[in-house]
């Protein structure tokens, strides 16, 4: 009986090893069959909200020249020439999140002050992660902006339009990585004219007029 038991244990070990190998192969197959990377162009109207840290204020305060910003939102159907592997992709929408830093290169005045934010703040670095809602599914996109050289705020009918890339260096990975440009405009509810009662703005909303995400 002892020999039979040992034989059964050996067989069980062989079976388990075989099953383990099969599981690895299935897992590898799963990775290989991930959503394809799309190329082409895409244009989406977007809406959402964001936050500043520290809060934007009417007058200069502190000595920091860095302002942190993050925002997120979504879109409805997008116009697109997207394709992958010869198949045409229909983009039904997008969900996105962004996080980055703004800088005031003009002086040591805090980037959170109205005068600095509205007239001088540039993108130091900003990354946008985009998950596409499409048929068939496609891989996400990551857009990274760095080294801005112009203010990222412009006046849009009395409110701040937050412009990306604002002459920043643009890098695109994932779907649409073959594109050269990614332009994002956030039409916000932040007043463009500085006053003694401006803000404070801890949060903001966008999508009021024509906020858009364009990759081309």
d(CA 60, CA 11): 76
Spatial CB neighbours of 24, under 8 Å, sequence gap ≥ 6: none
Of the candidates 13, 50, 20, the residue with the CA atom closest to the CA atom of residue 126: 50
For 124-157, how does the pLDDT look when each residue is reduced to its tens digit (9 = 90+)? 999 999 999 999 999 999 999 999 999 999 999 9
Helix (H) or strand (E) holding 30: helix 2-32
pLDDT at residue 65, rounded to an integer: 81
Of the candidates 197, 187, 53, the residue with the CA atom closest to the CA atom of residue 111: 53
For 183-214, how does the pLDDT look when each residue is reduced to its tens digit (9 = 90+)? 999 999 999 999 999 999 999 999 988 999 99
Top pLDDT among 34 and 32 is at 34
Phi, psi of 28 (to 5 degrees): -65, -40
DSSP code for 15: H
Considering the entire predicted model, what is its pTM? Answer: 0.82
Let me know: does 89 contact 38? Beta carbons within 8 Å. Answer: yes
């Amino acid at each position: 009986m002892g020999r039979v038991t040992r034989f059964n244990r050996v067989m069980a070990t062989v079976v388990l090893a075989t099953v383990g190998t099969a599981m690895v192969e299935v897992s590898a197959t799963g990775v290989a069959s991930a959503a394809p990377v799309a190329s082409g162009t895409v244009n989406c109207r977007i809406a959402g909200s964001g936050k500043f840290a520290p809060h934007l204020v009417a007058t200069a305060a502190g000595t920091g020249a860095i302002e942190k910003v993050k925002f997120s939102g979504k879109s409805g159907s997008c116009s697109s020439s997207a394709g992958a592997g010869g198949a045409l992709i229909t983009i039904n929408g997008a969900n996105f999140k962004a996080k980055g830093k703004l800088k005031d290169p003009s002086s040591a005045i805090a980037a959170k002050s109205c005068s600095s934010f509205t007239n001088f703040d540039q993108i130091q670095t900003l990354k946008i992660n985009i998950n596409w809602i499409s048929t068939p599914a496609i891989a996400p996109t990551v857009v990274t902006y760095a080294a801005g050289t112009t203010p990222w705020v412009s006046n849009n009918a009395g409110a701040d339009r937050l412009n990306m890339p604002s002459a920043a260096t643009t890098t695109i990975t994932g779907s649409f990585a073959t594109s050269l440009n990614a332009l994002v405009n956030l039409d916000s509810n932040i007043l463009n004219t500085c006053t003694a009662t401006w803000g404070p703005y801890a949060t903001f909303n966008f999508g009021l007029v024509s906020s858009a995400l364009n990759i081309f």
